[in-house]
Amino acid sequence: MEKTENMLKQTFESSSSRTPQYLDFHRTFKREVKNLLKPYINRFEVFKPNHFDAGGFFELKNGKIFYFSLSDLRWDKTFLIRTAKDFKDYTGGSNQYLDIDDLGNNLLSFVEREI
């Protein structure tokens, strides 16, 4: 997740459309999160590039499903995660937030607690 974490430290150009910078981040984020979680998951889905944010769902091998969302990269950059009933449950359990300064390790620690 090193490349993703470095990209999160950048200032993202604001625009009314998706920028090359954002699209590069989205591809990198999707690839690195999937690779990080690969040993723990059955299923992983990241939404198509939106407008300066990223989100999706993953299912652990024990059947627990989680929704995650990385807020607008131009402003606050918060990483929200919560339990979900299925891959269409956007309301799910209680919101939890992970520190993005060490997102890879924080996400891994979170998943390992849920196993």
For 32-71, how does the pLDDT look when each residue is reduced to its tens digit (9 = 90+)?
Answer: 999 999 999 999 999 999 989 999 999 999 999 999 999 9
pLDDT value of residue 114: 96
pLDDT value of residue 16: 93
Pairing of strands 65-70, 54-60: antiparallel
Nearest Cα neighbor of 4 from 87, 81, 111, 103 is: 103
pTM of the predicted model as reported, rounded to 2 decimal places = 0.94
The DSSP code for 47 is P
- Give the separation between CA 90 and CA 82, rounded to whole angstroms: 9
Average pLDDT over the chain, rounded to an integer: 96
| pLDDT (average), residues 89-100 | 94
Output the six-digit token pair for 91: 């309301």
pLDDT value of residue 9: 95
pLDDT value of residue 79: 97
Output the six-digit token pair for 67: 């929704």
- At residue 96, does pLDDT exceed 90? yes
For 64-88, how does the pLDDT look when each residue is reduced to its tens digit (9 = 90+)?
Answer: 999 999 999 999 899 999 999 999 9
pLDDT value of residue 76: 87
pLDDT value of residue 27: 98
